[in-house]
């Protein structure tokens, strides 16, 4: 479950996890108007729980997908 904590209409919004699988989740959505549409950029700051086990899950599920 996330909560939208910051917003500037047409420019960006931020959602932060309140309950869920991550120890920390801060997700920014930035929008830029282009001649033929909109460019969206996501910036995510997060941390997995469970220390060493969380780092292993990150390595297997996130780093390999990049």
Give 9-61 pLDDT, tens digit per residue: 999 999 999 988 888 899 999 999 999 999 999 999 988 776 676 667 666 66
Residue 65 has pLDDT above 60, yes or no: no
Quick check: helix, strand or coil at residue 61?
A: helix
pTM for the complete prediction? 0.70
- Is the pLDDT score of 4 beyond 90? yes
40 closest CA partner among 53, 55, 27: 27
List helix spans (H) across 1-66: 51-61
Which letter, b or e, does each residue of 20-51 get, where b requires 16 or more Cβ atoms within 10 Å of its Cβ? eeeeebbbebeeeeeeeeeeeeeeeeeebeee
User: In what helix (H) or strand (E) does residue 28 lie, and over which residues does it extend?
Assistant: strand 24-34
63 pLDDT higher than 60: no
């Amino acid at each position: 479950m996330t909560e939208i904590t910051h917003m500037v209409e047409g420019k960006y919004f931020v959602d932060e996890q309140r309950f869920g699988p991550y120890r920390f989740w801060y997700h920014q959505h930035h929008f830029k108007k282009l001649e033929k549409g909109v460019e969206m950029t996501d910036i995510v700051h997060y941390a997995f729980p469970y220390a060493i086990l969380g780092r292993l899950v990150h390595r297997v599920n996130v780093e390999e997908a990049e």
